Amino acid sequence: MDKRSAAVLLERTIELAQKRGAKASECSWASGASGSFSVCDDALERSRTSRFFAVGLRVLDGENRQGVASLTDFDGDVVSELCDAAFANARGNAPEDDVVFAEKSPTPAGQDLGVYDPALPEWPVEEQIELCLAMSREARALDARVRGVRSSAVHSLSGEMQSLNSFGAFYESKMTSGSLSMTLLANDGEATEINGASNEARSRARLLALLPVREAVENSVRLMNSRPLRSGRYTLVLEPAVTASFLTVLADLFCASNVCKDLSLLAGRLGEPVASKSLTLIDDGRLFAGSGTSHCDSEMIQTQKTTVLDRGRVVRWLCNLQYGKRLGFPSTGNCARGLDSLPDVDVNNFYVVPGDRDCETIIAALGKCFRVAELMGLHTVDPVTGDFSLGARGVYYEHGASLPVAQVTIAGNLLDFLKQITEVGSDLRFFGRFGGCTMVVEDIAVAGT
């Protein structure tokens, strides 16, 4: 189905939904192609390409109940099937008197946000497979302790989308994205380590400039022969990847949907200082070439740059139309939903505002610290109380000497943790939609031996 046919389908679906009694309706069409190729050592393990088409409908029926439905099979009467399913699903949901739809089309895109690269979908399959093989060979050549390449992979995605609602709001877009990843097996005597690295980009050129080989090798060998630290209180230095993983927890605390449901320990604390003045957090839906960048969110509201934590003080919630209305704020362009799911709130590109010094300079100045390279169990952090107990691995530094560390636990409370941040590094790096920097956190309980 081409774009013109898709536009006709959207119009017909909205027209029928309104005739059947919808107070409001919204229909979206998406199409795209993906590729996934990987090698194990020097043997091709996976070679897969696919195309997809899908259409989804959201309705608000006469009883103020929302219903959604989607189809990937375009045989038969698609319009009737969508409407039948969406209204049937609405009957199973509770009425809501604050559902909002966009009432006008977003401003036409006048700024290139770097989200589409025509060279990526045209990348020859043979070149992608050869790149996987070349990365595999390079990893083994860089360090003799690399005994195997479990996976050397490239993934790519391209797609386009159109959305139309019953108020006449319309939006269309195109996007591309890709990733390179490696998982290595390293061995040094009795020590064995499986680790790796990955990078993402919106363009083919940027992807090729971010080969993860050296990082994958370093991650696979630097924590060999690790041992626990003595239990005590330590100054932690979180690497950017660890900070980014922490942000996946912190970001949820600023989502209006969680605030309204009392699933955020920050609920009721708008305007209050809750963290160190060293910490400022931003969500930016218009960050050039970001993984979460787009001109509009899933409700056709223009995205924006939103500061949620300003030097430790809570200053804004991330909102979609409905939850923004509940809290008395406009949408920040943070609606997220699939073709078959109801609107919710999520981040676009969420990151820490960087400081002035790089990681090595910070560690040298500290003298003694535990540099955290991995955290395990972040999904267990309690978003209401903030209590956490996480497994950690990394390197302990003491006046120039270093010791690989594993089998330790970091415990505490998120609010205490945020207040004990003393410095943020200059090395901002994105891992998907989350951007982290080196971060220094003082006086944290570490349980080891």
pLDDT single digits (tens) 355-410: 999 999 999 999 899 999 999 999 999 999 999 999 999 999 998 899 999 999 99
- Residue 427, pLDDT score: 96
The yes-or-no verdict on residue 109 having pLDDT over 80 is: no
Q: Which residues contact 77 (CB under 8 A, 6 or more apart)?
A: none
- Residue 425, pLDDT score: 97
The DSSP H or E segment spanning 251 is: helix 240-253
Helix (H, G, I), strand (E, B) or coil at 130: helix
Q: Structure tokens of 74?
A: 């375009």
Which pLDDT band, with edges at 50, 70 and 90, does 330 fall under?
very high
Residue 6 covered by a domain: no
Question: Same domain for 192 and 299?
Answer: no
Structure confidence by residue, pLDDT tens digits, 127-136: 999 999 999 9
Distance CA 254, CA 378 (A): 17
Question: Same domain for 131 and 203?
Answer: yes
- Residue 2, pLDDT score: 83
Question: Same domain for 261 and 404?
Answer: yes
> How many Cβ atoms from other residues are within 10 Å of residue 309's Cβ?
23
- Residue 9, pLDDT score: 95
Domain that holds residue 143: 125-154+180-221
Distance CA 202, CA 188 (A): 37
Which pLDDT band, with edges at 50, 70 and 90, does 291 fall under?
very high
Residue 394 covered by a domain: yes
Which pLDDT band, with edges at 50, 70 and 90, does 160 fall under?
very high
Structure confidence by residue, pLDDT tens digits, 372-387: 999 999 999 999 999 9
Cβ-count burial of 423 within 10 angstroms (0-12 exposed, 13-18 middle, 19+ buried)? buried
The yes-or-no verdict on residue 275 having pLDDT over 90 is: yes
Helix (H, G, I), strand (E, B) or coil at 214: helix
Residue 276 covered by a domain: yes
> Which residue has tokens 């386009």?
160
Report pTM.
0.96
Residue 179 forms beta bridges with which residues?
155, 200
Q: Tell me phi and psi for residue 197, to 5 degrees.
A: -165, 165
What does the pLDDT average to over 82-100? 96
- Residue 367, pLDDT score: 87
Which pLDDT band, with edges at 50, 70 and 90, does 315 fall under?
very high
Which pLDDT band, with edges at 50, 70 and 90, does 152 fall under?
very high
Question: Same domain for 270 and 189?
Answer: no
- Residue 189, pLDDT score: 86
Residue 433 covered by a domain: yes
Question: Same domain for 329 and 390?
Answer: yes
Question: Same domain for 273 and 379?
Answer: yes
The yes-or-no verdict on residue 110 having pLDDT over 80 is: no
Residue 175 covered by a domain: no
Question: Same domain for 284 and 320?
Answer: yes
Question: Same domain for 354 and 239?
Answer: yes
Question: Same domain for 243 and 203?
Answer: no
- Residue 399, pLDDT score: 83
Nearest CA to 343 among 330, 333, 352? Answer: 333
Cβ-count burial of 164 within 10 angstroms (0-12 exposed, 13-18 middle, 19+ buried)? buried
What's the structural domain count of the chain? Answer: 2
Q: Name the E strands within 215-367.
A: 232-238, 281-284, 305-310, 313-314, 335-336, 344-345, 350-352
The yes-or-no verdict on residue 252 having pLDDT over 90 is: yes
Structure confidence by residue, pLDDT tens digits, 21-72: 999 999 999 999 999 999 999 899 999 999 999 999 999 999 999 999 999 9
Q: What is the mean pLDDT of the chain?
A: 96
Residue 22 covered by a domain: no
Q: Tell me phi and psi for residue 220, to 5 degrees.
A: -85, -20
Q: Which of 166, 199, 221 is the last residue of a domain?
A: 221
- Residue 67, pLDDT score: 97
Q: Which of 189, 221, 253 is the last residue of a domain?
A: 221
Name which residue leads in pLDDT, 109 or 414: 414
Q: Tell me phi and psi for residue 127, to 5 degrees.
A: -70, -35
Question: Same domain for 269 and 361?
Answer: yes
Distance CA 375, CA 372 (A): 7
- Residue 75, pLDDT score: 86
Question: Same domain for 208 and 271?
Answer: no
- Residue 449, pLDDT score: 84
The yes-or-no verdict on residue 108 having pLDDT over 90 is: no
- Residue 319, pLDDT score: 98
- Residue 441, pLDDT score: 97
Residue 93 covered by a domain: no
Residue 213 covered by a domain: yes
| Sign of the Cα pseudo-torsion (286, 103, 331, 434, in order) | negative
Question: Same domain for 185 and 238?
Answer: no
